[in-house]
Amino acid sequence: MLLFEKRENVSTKLKVAIPLISVFLGLVAGGIAILFTRTNPLIVYQALVKGAFSSVYTFSETLVVAIPLILISAGLIVAFKMNFWNIGAYGQYIMGAIFGSFFALNMPATMSRPLLLAIMCLAGILGGALWGLIPAALKAFWEVNEVISTLLLNYIALYILKYLMYGPWRNPASHGFPLSKPFELNAQLPRLLMRTRVHLGLVFGIIAVIIIYILITKTKFGYEIRVIGENKRAARYGGINITKNIFIAMAISGGLAGLAGLAQLSGVIHMLQIEINPGYGYTAIIVAWLASLNPIIAMFVSVVFGGLETGGYQIQMAIRVPFGIVGTIESAVLFFLLGGEILKRYRIRFRRNTS
Amino acid sequence: MKLTATTILITLLATTVRSGTILLFPTIGEIFTERTGILNLGIEGMMVIGAFFGFVVAYITKNPYLGFIIGTLAGGAAALIHAFISITLRGNQVVSGLALTIFGLGITSFYGQRWINNKLPESIPTVVVPGLSKIPFIGSIFFRQDYIVYFSYILVLALWFILYKTKPGIHLRASGQNARAADAMGVNVNATRYFWTFFGGLMAGAGGAYLTIAYATFWLEGITAGRGWIAVALVIFAMWNPINALIGAYLFGGISALQFQLQASGTTMPSSLLSMQPYLLTFIIIIIATLIVRARHLGAPKELGTPYSREEK
């Protein structure tokens, strides 16, 4: 039988090894799934890496996907630190995109670009934050389970987007396709590198990571959410205002997801449509967890996962391996990571069954 | 048959039962899983796995019942991943459940792509129950269904009985309320949790398989469309009671049936707003249910989501 012996402290080596081994085993599990389709997984993975990291352009595409992951995971870390399960980044991302688009579509094309972009970013943050504050309020006042409320709000946000795209916001010139008018130049985030789609959102992401890192490690707020996350009762006895902290944390978490949605539209897609990749909201959960809720590590993990997604699109197009393999690998990584975390807490020994 | 208001209502309610059955299986399964103290948020993933395997087997063998059984088992197998991580390895149950959902959606989209344009030759046959189907109104709604629906009626009654009137029922409730005390009583807490987590997976698989075999009769990527999450919400609505789960599942089955009916009849309401209704209503009802649960001090199983080990205090 298995015996668990409590560890007193965790070595850094183990902290680094567990996520790395999890990623490796996740890829092995994905490889086994690929084998069942009578395809050589090594060829698939080779194509995947090539599609994500082999040239300046493919790497720039990886960064383009990493941008929303960096922003969203930084926000999720704040919520997860206090054990608030925000599964709603998907919906908050959509609401940020919708709020920001409102200004992109309705302000004159002659408006100053920095001014319009600033308004759009604020609107994006506001949209995401408002959508995040709904489950926050329900949790704080009535203890409504936030996993369920944030998830249902994802679907509600998706249908609001669909309603707008098939209805009032559809471009009359789109021949019936659910697309908005294209954004004018003054509503487009500037590109950072020539001939790539890497946009200013990357800078937002890096700034957000630095701010969140300082916030959670150096401030009273960071201390309080950690205490709430570890022991809610102790936090309450210690005089920590839980309601206030839930609101602040979810405004940050939702706001960054909203900014990610807006940045994706304004920096990459340049119009509002139904497919705006809100699924990054789920991928970012894995990123945050894999980074042990450290925003700086999450930034690098985002690049790895950006590569996985970019490479996933490439192999779908180049060698017709369905994109579902990406979700399979991501979830397998997460399973191994969760399973591996026990090694941080316990030393595991085998013993012949005696009981 | 004349198309009177009554016949329209009967058709609608009969569809409600079928559509509700999709939610009934997973809701009831999750009630039992949670009652033992394990939170499995992977219902959506297990359902879509059941839906896919159920469809493929039904399509290949042309036997919907075999499809249903395999889909059910596939859901159970998926639940074992969650059981291993949350019971044996004491991992985080919220994240593991989410991983299971992402896994189910990913793997079925990966293998399912080439099945997308196929359709089952026919839906599962309707079996009229002699006698009972003659009851006016009720008979036409509840007893002109298929075998799987009849199976769900018996299952709900049997599970209610097991939960409240038998020793295994006491054991599983004790495991979720106070694992240490249950252990002292001689209950094997972790074995109980394994079994009912597996059972929850079977039920989620059954709901998914019923969806593709009897309701939709085709396969589509992500065909469960959030029904698994609605089932998670219904568990709270049902206050962890199998009979309430029946009411909740049919209520939501009714909302989807009505929404399709309205869409087909060509209302002026935009279809995206109609499709939003089940989620919006679940959202509102979950708030109300939470308030009721709190006011009546019913609450979730006390140790929901807490791993148990003997050595640790």
The percentage of residues in chain B with a pLDDT greater than 90, rounded to a whole number, is: 56
**Distance of alpha carbon B141 from alpha carbon A131, whole angstroms:** 40
Per the prediction, chain A carries an average pLDDT of: 91
Domain segments of chain A as ranges: 67-301
Nearest CA in chain B to A139: B287
Contact B204, B194 (CB under 8 A): no
Q: Which of B107, B229, B280 sits opposite A328 (nearest CB)?
A: B107
Nearest CA in chain A to B291: A142
For residues B236-247, give the mean pLDDT: 91
Instruction: Residue B113: list chain A partners with CB under 8 A.
Output: 322, 324
Instruction: Residue B190: list chain A partners with CB under 8 A.
Output: none
pLDDT band at B46 (very low <50, low <70, confident <90, very high): very high
The pLDDT value given to residue B249: 94
Residue type for A240, please?
I
User: Does residue B313 lie in a domain region?
Assistant: no
The pLDDT value given to residue B102: 93
Tokens 């992977």 appear where? B42
Task: Using a CB–CB cutoff of 8 Å, tell me whether B299 touches chain A.
Answer: no
Q: How far is A110 from chain B (nearest CA, A)?
A: 34
The pLDDT value given to residue B121: 82
Per the prediction, chain B carries an average pLDDT of: 90
Q: Which residue has the higher pLDDT, B26 or A353?
A: B26
For residues B136-159, give the mean pLDDT: 90
Which tokens in the block code for residue B141? 């709604």
ipTM comes to: 0.88
For residues B185-214, give the mean pLDDT: 95
Which tokens in the block code for residue A160? 């609001």
> Looking at the predicted structure, is the pLDDT value of residue A9 above 90?
no
Contact B66, B57 (CB under 8 A): yes
pLDDT band at B192 (very low <50, low <70, confident <90, very high): very high
User: Does residue B302 lie in a domain region?
Assistant: no
User: Does residue B312 lie in a domain region?
Assistant: no
The pLDDT value given to residue B311: 66
pLDDT band at A353 (very low <50, low <70, confident <90, very high): low
For residues A35-59, give the mean pLDDT: 90
Instruction: Residue B280: list chain A partners with CB under 8 A.
Output: 152, 156
User: Does residue B87 lie in a domain region?
Assistant: yes
Task: Using a CB–CB cutoff of 8 Å, tell me whether B273 touches chain A.
Answer: yes
The pLDDT value given to residue B270: 80
Q: State how many domains chain B has.
A: 1
Residues 6 or more apart in contact with residue A6 via CB below 8 angstroms: A345, A346, A347, B312
Q: Give me the helix-helix angle, A146-166 and A89-106, nearest 10°.
A: 30
pLDDT band at B259 (very low <50, low <70, confident <90, very high): confident
Task: Using a CB–CB cutoff of 8 Å, tell me whether B276 touches chain A.
Answer: yes
Task: Using a CB–CB cutoff of 8 Å, tell me whether B259 touches chain A.
Answer: no
User: Does residue B300 lie in a domain region?
Assistant: no
> Looking at the predicted structure, is the pLDDT value of residue B135 above 70?
yes
Over residues A219-264, the pLDDT tens digits come to 999 999 999 998 888 888 888 999 999 999 999 999 999 999 999 9
Residue type for A281, please?
G
For residues B73-84, give the mean pLDDT: 97
pLDDT band at B3 (very low <50, low <70, confident <90, very high): low
pLDDT band at A217 (very low <50, low <70, confident <90, very high): very high
Q: Which of A6, A138, A148 sits opposite B233 (nearest CB)?
A: A148
For residue B236, give the CATH number of its domain.
1.10.3470
> Judged by CB atoms within 8 Å, which residues 215-274 of A form the interface with B?
none
> Judged by CB atoms within 8 Å, which residues 167-226 of B form the interface with A?
221, 226
Contact A127, A95 (CB under 8 A): yes
The pLDDT value given to residue A221: 93
> Judged by CB atoms within 8 Å, which residues 108-137 of B form the interface with A?
108-113
Instruction: Residue B103: list chain A partners with CB under 8 A.
Output: 327-328, 331-332, 335
Task: Using a CB–CB cutoff of 8 Å, tell me whether B105 touches chain A.
Answer: yes
Contact A246, A82 (CB under 8 A): yes
The pLDDT value given to residue A85: 93
Residue A154 backbone phi and psi in degrees, to 5: -60, -45
User: Does residue B165 lie in a domain region?
Assistant: yes
Residue-number span of the structural domain to which B127 is assigned? 5-295
For residues B43-50, give the mean pLDDT: 97
Q: How many CB pairs under 8 A join A and B?
A: 147
Q: How far is A3 from chain B (nearest CA, A)?
A: 10
> Looking at the predicted structure, is the pLDDT value of residue A355 above 70?
no
Over residues A13-27, the pLDDT tens digits come to 888 888 889 889 999
Instruction: Residue B279: list chain A partners with CB under 8 A.
Output: 152, 155-156, 159
Task: Using a CB–CB cutoff of 8 Å, tell me whether A7 touches chain B.
Answer: no
For residues B67-75, give the mean pLDDT: 97
Least confident of A58-67, B54-63, B141-150: B141-150
The pLDDT value given to residue B2: 56
Which of B89, B219, B290 to mutate against chain A (most A CBs within 10 Å)? B89
pLDDT band at A281 (very low <50, low <70, confident <90, very high): very high
User: Does residue B19 lie in a domain region?
Assistant: yes
Nearest CA in chain B to A168: B270
Over residues A123-165, the pLDDT tens digits come to 999 999 999 999 999 999 998 989 999 999 999 999 999 999 9
Greatest CA separation found in chain A?
80
Does the beta-carbon distance from B98 to A87 stay under 8 Å? Answer: yes
Instruction: Residue B102: list chain A partners with CB under 8 A.
Output: 282, 286, 327, 330-331, 334
Contact B109, B221 (CB under 8 A): yes
Task: Using a CB–CB cutoff of 8 Å, tell me whether A331 touches chain B.
Answer: yes
Over residues B109-123, the pLDDT tens digits come to 999 988 888 888 877
By 3-state DSSP, what share of chain A in percent is helix, strand and coil, each rounded to 5? Answer: 75, 5, 25
The pLDDT value given to residue B260: 77
